[in-house]
Chains A and B, each alone.
Chain A
Amino acid sequence: MEGPANMHQPQRQSPKAVFLILLKYGRIIISTIWPILLVVLINPASHKGIIITIIVFGVAFLSLVYSILSYLKFYFFIQDDELCVRSGVIRKKILNVPFDRIQSIDFRQNLIHQFLNVVSVRVDTAGSKGIELELDAVDRHRAEELREIVLAYKRTKSNSTNVNSELLSDTSDESLAPELILTLSPKDLIKIGMSENHLRTAGIVFAFFLSIADDINQVLGWDVYGKLEDTTSSISLLGIFATIIAIPLFIGISFLITLVRTVLRYYGLKFWRVGQNFKVVSGLIIRNEKTIQKSKIQLIRWMTSPLKQIFGIYQLNIYQATNMEHQKDKSLVIPGCYQQQVDGTLDMTVPDFRKAVFSTHKMDISIVIRMVFLFGFIPALVFGIMAWRNEGFMQWFLTLIFPIAIIMGYAYQKKRRLKIHPDYILSEAGIFGRSYKLVEIHKIQTVQIHSSPVQRMRGLSSLHIFTAGGDISFPYLKDEIARQARNYIMYRVERDKASWM
C-alpha cells in the first residue's frame, strides 16, 4: 500500500473518469432527447433531419467538453478527519464530510468500471437522505486506501472512548486479516436460482404481460382480453389446449428470468469478514461491494424455503442502521449459505446466541380463525358468488382456497414462535419454509403493543419491536407476555450502557 500521506493532497479522480462522466451525461441526454433521435433515424433524408443531426452532434461535443471540465475541477482529499470534495465547473461547490458521520463506504463497478479497473465510491452518512457523496471513478487501490483511513480512524476512536469495550479489545491484531466465509461457485448459483421464489417472478411476468396486452390493445386495435376470454371461458378443445401450453410456458419463462436475475446479481459472490466488518462483493454486470461494521448491525434474518431445504441452503440478510428508504440498498444479502456459514456468521456477530436458552412463546390458536376468515372465507365467498352468477364451472375450483387456507393457517400458527432470552429476541416463522429474525435487545428503539376487541376478549395483544434496521412483529401473543416483554426490553434498553450503533 502506498503511504496514506498523499490522500491529504487534493487530487483528481482517475483520468478514466472522463469517460465515465461522459457516459453519465450521455445517458441523461439520450434519455431526454430520444424521441427526436428516433425521428432522425426513421427519416434521415428530410431537411429537419440534418438540422437535428447538427444539434445532436453539438450537444455531444458540449457534453464532452463539460465532462472534461468537470473532471478537471473535481478534487477530493482528506483534511482534519474529514473527507472533502471540491467540484463545480461554473459554480464552486465544497463538501466536507466528517469521518464521524460516515456510515459506510461502498464500491460499485459496472462493466465499464470493471474493464477500466476503477470503482465508483459511495459514501453514506447517518441521518441524511441517502447517498451523501459519490466519486465516479477512482483507482481501486486509491479507493481502498481511502476506506482504510476512515476505518482506522473509527477503530482508534472507538478504542479510546469505549471504556468497557470488550468487543473492540481484540481489534488491533486481527483487524487486517480478511477471512473468507463464503464464495459462490456457478453450481451454487444454479441452486440458488432454482430455489428462488418463482411465484414472485411469475407475478411480475404476468403484470408485464398485462401491460403489454394493454399496449397492443391501444396500438394495434387488437382485443387481447376479448381473445383471452374467448379461449378461457369456452370449454373448447382449443381453449384447453391453449391453457395446457400456456401454463408450462409461463412457469418456464418465470423460472428462466429468476435464474438470469440470480446470476446477474450474485455472480462471483464473496462474503468476507475483515476485522470488525463484513464485506460482500457480487454481481456480473454491475459489481457491488458493500461493507457493514459489525457494531452497526441491527437485525439478522436467515431463511429457507422447501426448495432451498432440498439443497440445504439459507439466505442470510444482515441489516444495518439506515433510513428506511435505503434499507434494501444497504443490507447485505448472502444467498446460498449452508448451515455452517449461517452458524459461523452468527457466532461472529452474536457470540452467545447459539448457546442461549430461550423461553418460547407461541401464537394463540385464534390467529387461525382470523387467517382463515381473511384469506379463506372471504375470497371463497366472493369466488362462490361469482361462480354461481356466471355459472362458470372453472370458478368453483377457486373456492378450494377455503380448505387450503385452513391448512395453511394451522401450519402458520404451529411454526410461529417468539423466543426471548435476556440478551436476544428471536422470531421464527414460515408455512412451508423457515425464517428467523434476530435482534439484540440493546439495539431496540421502540416497542408498541396493539390490541383489537377480539384480541382483548381472549386476553391477547400484538407485540411490535422496532430497531433502526427492521422490526419484529408478533400478533396474538398472551397480553401478559407481551407486556412483560415490553417492560423487560425497556428495563434493559434504559440501563444498558452499550451503544446501539
Chain B
Amino acid sequence: MSIKEELFTNPQLNIQHLPDADLLEMVRLEPAYKTVRYISSALISFIVVFVSWFALTIQFKEWPYSVSLFIFIVLISVWSILYSGIAYRYMGYALREKDISFKSGWLWRSMTTVPFSRVQHCDIKQGLIDRRFGLSRLTIYTAGGQSTDLMIPGLLPDTAERLKSFILKSTEQSTEERV
C-alpha cells in the first residue's frame, strides 16, 4: 500500500509524535520467576498426563488410538513446559508517569495498558510456589471487568509494595485533579 495510513483524516495533533508505549523499555521480571513458571507448568502437565494415562488405560484398550492420543498429550505437555520458560523472556512491565503497561506471550503476544486514573484498587498476593522463591504478584483492578485486570507476577515483595503505593498515589492525584 503506497498511501501512508494515518489514524485520522484530519489530525488535530500529530499522532506519530504521541508517546508510544511500545517503545518503552520493559522491566523484566525476577529471574527466580522463570523457575516458578517451570515448576507450576510442570505440575499441571504432570497432573494432566497422569489423569489421561489413567483414563486411557481404563477406557480404551485399542492401542493405536489410545497410544497415539497419549503421545499427543505428552508432547503437548512437554511443549507447554518449554513454552512457559521461553515466554518468561517476553514478559515485562513498563511504568510511565500516567499509566502502566504489561507485556506477555511469546507466540501469542499481548500488551495491556492501564491508565492510573482508571485504577479501582490494587492488591498483592503470594502463591504457594511464589512464597518458596520469595516472590509476589501485583494485581491492578479497573472497572473494565475481569479480563482487563492487570496481573504482574514475579516481583520482589518490596518492589510490589513500592509499585502499589506509586500507582495508588497517582490514582489519587488524578481523581483530585478531576474534582
**Partner-B contacts on A (CB < 8 A):** 127, 161-163, 321, 323-324, 357-359, 361, 420-422, 444-453, 456, 466-468, 471, 478, 480-481, 483-488, 490-491, 493-494, 497-501
Kindly supply a per-residue 1/0 record for chain B positions 131-159, scoring 1 wherever the CB is within 8 Å of any chain A CB and 0 otherwise: 00000000000111111101000000000
A480 and B5 within 8 A (CB): yes
Are the C-beta atoms of A491 and B12 separated by less than 8 Å? no
Determine which of A163, A358, A421, A446 lies in contact with B113 in the assembled complex, contact meaning CB atoms within 8 Å: A446
A447 — which chain B residues lie within 8 A by C-beta?
112-113
Bound CA–CA A498/B174 (angstroms): 11
Contact B18 A324 (CB under 8 A): no
Which of the residues B5, B21, B107, B118 comes within 8 Å of A500, measured between beta carbons?
Answer: B118
B108 to chain A: which residues have CB within 8 Å? 450-453
Q: Is B64 an interface residue (CB 8 A)?
A: no
- Residue of B at shortest CB range from A360? B9
Interface residues of B in 1-49 (CB under 8 A from A): 5-10, 12, 15-16, 18-22
B179 within 8 A of A: yes
User: Roughly how many angstroms separate A485 CA and B20 CA in the complex, as a whole number?
Assistant: 10
Q: Does B82 interact with chain A (Cβ within 8 Å)?
A: no
Count of CB-CB pairs between chains A and B under 8 Å: 116
Are the CB atoms of B117 and A359 closer together than 8 Å? no
With contacts A359-B8, A445-B148 taken as known, whether A491 is within 8 angstroms of B19 at the C-beta atoms is yes
Chain B nearest Cβ from A471, distance in angstroms = 7
A90 to chain B, nearest CB (A): 36
- Write the chain B residue with the least CB distance to A493: B115
B7 and A420 within 8 A (CB): yes
Q: A501 to B117, alpha carbons, bound, how many Å?
A: 12
User: In the complex, how many angstroms separate the beta carbon of A336 from the nearest chain B beta carbon?
Assistant: 29
**How distant is the Cα of A163 from the Cα of B178 in the complex, in angstroms?**
9
Size range of the interface on B? 35 or more
B143 near A486: Cβ-Cβ < 8 Å:
no
Alpha-carbon distance A448/B22, docked complex (angstroms): 12
Given A447-B113, A481-B5, 12 more pairs with CB closer than 8 A: A163-B179, A359-B8, A444-B118, A445-B142, A448-B148, A449-B110, A450-B110, A453-B107, A483-B20, A484-B18, A493-B117, A494-B116
23 A-B residue pairings within 8 Å (CB atoms)? A163-B179, A321-B143, A357-B9, A357-B10, A359-B7, A420-B7, A421-B8, A444-B118, A445-B143, A447-B112, A448-B111, A449-B111, A450-B110, A466-B145, A468-B142, A471-B144, A471-B145, A483-B21, A487-B15, A488-B15, A490-B99, A494-B116, A499-B178
B10 and A483 form a contact (CB under 8 A) = no
Q: Which 9 A-B pairs have the closest CB atoms?
A: A445-B144, A466-B144, A468-B143, A494-B98, A446-B148, A487-B18, A450-B110, A484-B7, A324-B145
Given contacts A449-B111, A466-B145, A468-B143, contact A497 B5 (CB under 8 A): no
Of A163, A420, A446, the contact of B118 (CB 8 Å cutoff): A446
* CB-CB under 8 A for A488 and B7, given A162-B179, A422-B12, A447-B113: yes
What is the bound-complex CA distance between A323 and B145, given in angstroms?
Answer: 7
Q: What is the minimal beta-carbon distance from B103 to any residue of chain A, in angstroms?
A: 9
B73 → A minimal CB distance (Å): 20
Q: B residues within 8 A CB of A498?
A: 178
Q: Which residues of A contact B165 (CB under 8 A)?
A: none
Q: How far is B147's CA from A159's CA once the two chains are assembled, in angstroms?
A: 35
Chain B residues with Cβ below 8 Å from A445 are: 114, 118, 142-144, 148
Contacts of A480 in B (CB 8 A): 5
Q: Which residues of B are found within 8 Å of A466, using beta-carbon distances?
A: 142, 144-145, 147-148
Instruction: Give every chain A residue within 8 A of B8 (Cβ-Cβ).
Output: 359, 420-422
Q: Are B178 and A497 in touch, CB under 8 angstroms?
A: yes
Across the interface, name the chain A residue whose C-beta is closest to B10: A357
Q: Is the CB of B9 within 8 A of A359?
A: yes
